[in-house]
Structure 1
Amino acid sequence: MKIVLAAPNYPQPRGNTVTVRRIAGNLEKIGVRTEIVSITGENCFATLPDADLVHGFHAYYFHQFLQQLDQKPKSYIITMTGTDLNADLYNPEKRPDVLSTLEGAKAIHVFDEAAKTTVLQEAPQFEGKVFAVAQGTSDFSSAQSSQLEKEAGTFLFVLPAGIRKVKNIPFAIDALRKLHKTIPNLRLWLAGPILEQAEADIVFALVEEHADWLTYIGEIPHAEMGVVFENADVVLNTSHSEGQPAAILEAKGYGKPVLVSNVPGNNGMVINGKNGYLYNDQKQFLYYAAKLINNNEARQRIGMQAKQYAADHHSPSFEAEALLKIYTSVTQQDNT
């Protein structure tokens, strides 16, 4: 079987690229051939490669892509990855295109049961073809780097995110600035590519202002992110909106406690006080951040439970097998 994975902005270093590469690698391990194509930008395909099935990512962008194809695929499934689920589905201008994509899909894949509920609340006609399959973890075992090492005697927060407004990076800087006044050994690394220049201008001005404790370590190749997570004491996600952020899942796989905004996507993979913390406002963020710094026992316990949660609920082999089951079902329907 061959599957074409069609993702927006590929191969730009974004969440969808990380997701499709992980899925492709794990599918290959169980004998499924894959090919990844971009559905946006200068690398966008006009003609799809031959395959048994197309697996699209991001319902709105995939709809735009379908309109410009020389020949539309016989069948496709779609993964809703974040903004299409949390924003485009509710946008009056984009909603018809999202629903059109879902209508044409033989199956709809989401990352958790909460996302499945959201889809069915908005479009109950798709009952029976929405499948929740959690993301698997990535393998960083081959990553090697001696370039990154936190300062001795410091407590390091890491915020892995592309620089764009939805990631709400200035929130983390402003909150930790207040904490740094009383905990001067606090440090923050920002890791991710520049995706919106206007937001980058804001972030880099803050980096320059707080250079004594805040560092932008740049765009780190995904294969080397394991080194970043190893250095971290706590990993952050401050996004306004999320799908199911792979970086937080990966951090948990390293046994790192996470402190994340209480939004769909994040709250589907973090049990507050058990395998991480969910915050609703800056006051809660500062409370949990201080607790993680000052309570070694709690930090270690939450990190261990985070690692166990990732192993129990985010198996890469389970993800691949579950997707293969969907692919097989669709292709069998096509052949009957």
Structure 2
Amino acid sequence: LARVAEGLGWRAWCLDVREVSGKGDLEKYLQRERVDGVLGVHAHRAGRLLVGSPVPYCILLGGTDANVFVYDTRKRAVMSDAVKGSRTLISFGGGMLSRMQRHLDYAGPAVLMPQSVAPPSTAAPGGAWAGGVPPGAAVFVLPCGLRDVKDPSYLVDAFRAWHAEDARVWLLVIGPILDNDCASRLFSAIGGGGGGGGGRAR
């Protein structure tokens, strides 16, 4: 997102909400950098820091917002306050958008932005990060932070069976470990230690 913004001639910063101690800390950062607008990724994670922000902001909904946090009364209240204070609500899916509008009692501006990615050819799997995937493989890439709501362990048996029939088929999971128990289940299911090429299933 920052690269797109910079390509349009804007200055852009990426700030991890895990590195922000609270709303006051964020406001100081926004003032120091003279930020004109904020795109908050996730209605709860970013939204809790943006409620009442003096800087205009938009909220990009995340799957965890719609599938987990919305069922927690306290988190739902925070998300509702966050989206009602935003300039617009952005969602990658129509179903998610309508569900969140209903749950959060939000009738303000909303943008539906279907997800699509056209990676450059240099982004094709290769090198050490591909975990020894051979050239010519049919690679299914699942980018996700390992946690219960994005637990890819249910795919392991299906891909193992498919790989046994056609050795070109691989599943490549790329992302940080956000929940150690979830990661342990995945690594146990594939019989590897995780990290780099350590967790391949055949």
> Which interval holds the TM-score relative to the shorter structure?
0.7 to 0.9
Residue identity matched to 1:140: P
The residue aligned with 1:115 is: 96
The residue aligned with 1:133 is: 113
Verify: 1:207 aligned to 2:190, yes or no: yes
Q: State how far apart, in whole Å, the 2-side matches of 1:127 and 1:116 are.
A: 11
- 1:3-22 matches, cutoff 5 A: none
Shift of 1:35: 1.7
Deviations 1:65-119 (A, max 9, x none): 247xxx9324222111221123222322211111011111121111233233223
Bigger mean CA deviation after superposition, 132-141 or 190-199? 132-141
Residue identity matched to 1:161: C
Structure 1 residue runs without a partner (length 5+): 1-22, 220-336
Shift of 1:187: 4.8
Shift of 1:218: 2.6
The residue aligned with 1:150 is: 133
Residue identity matched to 1:96: A
Bigger mean CA deviation after superposition, 110-119 or 139-148? 139-148
Deviations 1:224-243 (A, max 9, x none): xxxxxxxxxxxxxxxxxxxx
Distance change (3 Å), C-alpha of 1:60 and 1:155: closer
Q: Give the secondary-structure state (helix, strand or coil) at the position aligned to 2:44.
A: helix
Residue identity matched to 2:93: D
Structure with the bigger RCO (C-alpha within 8 Å, sep 6+) is 1
The residue aligned with 2:39 is: 55
Match of 2:154 among 155, 161, 171: 171
Match of 2:7 among 24, 29, 47: 29
Percent of aligned pairs with the same residue?
A: 25
Q: Give the secondary-structure state (helix, strand or coil) at the position aligned to 1:114.
A: helix
Q: State how far apart, in whole Å, the 1-side matches of 2:123 and 2:159 are.
A: 29
Aligned residues: 187
Check conservation: 2:88, 2:109, Cα contact below 8 A: yes
Residue identity matched to 1:129: P
Q: State how far apart, in whole Å, the 2-side matches of 1:140 and 1:154 are.
A: 18
Residue identity matched to 2:67: N
Shift of 1:194: 2.5
Distance change (3 Å), C-alpha of 1:116 and 1:160: closer
Residue identity matched to 1:127: A
Q: State how far apart, in whole Å, the 1-side matches of 2:68 and 2:74 are.
A: 11
Check conservation: 2:139, 2:172, Cα contact below 8 A: no
Q: State how far apart, in whole Å, the 2-side matches of 1:188 and 1:139 are.
A: 18
Greater than 6 Å deviation, 4+ residue runs = none
Shift of 1:207: 2.5
The residue aligned with 1:190 is: 172
The residue aligned with 2:200 is: none
- 1:1-336 matches, cutoff 5 A: 23-41=1-19, 45-46=25-26, 47=28, 48=30, 49-66=33-50, 72-124=53-105, 126-135=106-115, 137=117, 139-143=119-123, 145-147=126-128, 148=130, 150-151=133-134, 157-179=140-162, 183=165, 185=167, 187-192=169-174, 193-208=176-191, 218=196
